[in-house]
Amino acid sequence: MKTGKRTFMQINYLSLPEKTKILPFTILIFVLSGLLFWSCKKTGIVIPAGVNAPLAISASDSSLVLNQVNQNAPAITFNWTTGTNNGTNSAIDYTFQLDKKGNNFANPVTMQMGRQAYTVSYTTGQLNDSVLNHWKIAPGTAVDFEARIIANVAGSSLPPQISNVKGLTVTPYEPVSSTLYIIGGATSTGWDNSKSEALTTDPKTPGGFIFQGTLLPGTFKFITTLGSFLPSYNMGADSSKIVFRTLDSQPDDQFTITEASVYKVSVNLIDLTIKIEKLASSPYSKLWIIGDAVPKGWNISTPDSMVSNPNNGFLFKYNEVLKAGEFKIPTAATGDFGVPFYMPLSNHPDLAETGVQLVQSGGVDYKWNITHPGPYKITLNLLDMSIHIVPFQPYTKLWIVGDATPNGWNIDNPSVMTATSDPNVFTYTGHLNAGEFKIPVATGDWGTDFFRPYKNHPDISETGAQFVKHGTAPDDTDDYKWLITTAGNYQITLNQLYETISIVKQ
């Protein structure tokens, strides 16, 4: 079977009288037959000579100039009267046909409607798809069509009943591209047209696409196909307009970024507009994580929260023991899955891949997949749209160092913390002086990594204890430390997986 571009028609079921609503089995037969019909090249069905009958078909419109702006809206509805079973008490099967005028229904689009069905509707997109791909009509060309309904009495040798012919005129449109990629020196992938980043479609806006991510000083434009510089969408009359470019000889004007930042770029290929918004702060102050890999599973009402870095609102962490399974990152926890999600660029990527995309409701449903359960540390960066998913191996020794500790600032011999039955948890119990301390993961070298507070000298009731790589700003280069203001006996408990600390005066 040669597969063409799929078109699908829908029965306006709710509009039927109660006594004529389709039985569930009939609906199933209609859907299955409809899918088979619309996905294959149509050659029509053989209809023997008909007989006159009270069967009549009507349409909600007679002249249609289709516009992609309305692609999801109803374009036309056909209704018909009941046929007659000539007193046989048998069911009647209906067949809908649509063909170009003058073809005498030799090459129709045919839909087996089943029984007790008296209406069928096309959306603008469905009708346009049929006109372009079944009859190969050029966009912008007005063509006359004819529709009719055929009724057959089930299990009978009675000839079919054929309705009147309903005429209509349809003018199709040229659909815009269903894919769009951003390319240029302002993007992370530069001018390599085989690696350009895809924009996500906006399911609520026909022809709409959205990009959210970091753009650098430089220029950019859009291409529709990976590996090809043409066709492209370039800057039009100004920075709020785009223009479709198909030839190298046409102007190659591009959009310019002067300051590195996170941007949201909204493009509409139908009205040829673009909106470029610089996000001065993180687009979200809170994020969550759901999936069967995390403790709360797919609970969108009360999912696990990610931890926002108070020094960088673009950074979010999630440290947890994960199960084998999937996860993705919702932008709201309202009990509704119809919110934007942060997702990988493909489904189940290798965990070493760092690409992230923001997907609007109704888009793809890609997820990360954990195949080896265990403790992980996940860091999402909304500034450069990256994610790092790293299995965690806890340190087997930890220390505290500083003038608050018994051994002071002696990095060669700092005060030892005590391991517990949980390999992630270490404690220190003993006297602390008034003064500072931090927690190194090795001795003998100030250039090691540390557990530190998120700011210098936080209140000791604050529980954040982030793991900080040596030299990373601002948390390490500013040399953040905890401060003990009152000398006495203290118990310090550090969980290195969850990056939390408890400092309790005894």
8 Å CB contact between 454 and 444: no
Domains of the chain: 13-171 (2.60.40.10), 181-279 (2.60.40), 288-391 (2.60.40.3620), 399-505 (2.60.40.3620)
Whether the predicted pLDDT of 7 surpasses 90: no
pLDDT at 32: 33
Whether the predicted pLDDT of 44 surpasses 70: no
Whether the predicted pLDDT of 347 surpasses 60: yes
Distances (CA, A) of 156 to 91, 92, 140, 166, 192: 10, 10, 45, 27, 66
Whether the predicted pLDDT of 405 surpasses 80: yes
For the chain, the average pLDDT equals 88
- Burial (CB count within 10 angstroms: exposed 0-12, middle 13-18, buried 19+), residue 43: exposed
Lowest mean pLDDT among 193-202, 400-409, 412-421: 193-202
pLDDT at 475: 79
Percent of the chain surpassing pLDDT 90: 74
* H or E element that contains 427: strand 425-432
pLDDT band at 188 (very low <50, low <70, confident <90, very high): confident
Mean pLDDT in residue range 464-470: 94
pLDDT at 392: 97
Distances (CA, A) of 262 to 212, 345, 353, 356, 476: 7, 18, 20, 13, 24
Mean pLDDT in residue range 122-145: 94
Phi then psi for residue 315, to 5 deg, are: -100, 135
More confident residue, 329 or 44: 329
Strand arrangement, sheet containing 500-505: 418-419, 425-432, 488-495, 500-505
C-beta atoms surrounding 152 within 10 Å: 20
Mean pLDDT in residue range 452-480: 90
- The model's pLDDT over 46-89, given as tens digits with 9 standing for 90+, comes to 344 444 447 999 999 999 999 999 988 999 999 999 999 888 88
Whether the predicted pLDDT of 103 surpasses 70: yes
CA distance 247 to 226: 17
Whether the predicted pLDDT of 235 surpasses 60: yes
Whether the predicted pLDDT of 29 surpasses 80: no
| Whole-structure pTM value | 0.56
pLDDT at 418: 98
Which token pair is 124? 């603008």
Which token pair is 17? 């009288």
- The model's pLDDT over 307-340, given as tens digits with 9 standing for 90+, comes to 998 878 889 999 999 999 999 999 998 888 999 9
pLDDT at 51: 41
Mean pLDDT in residue range 231-251: 96
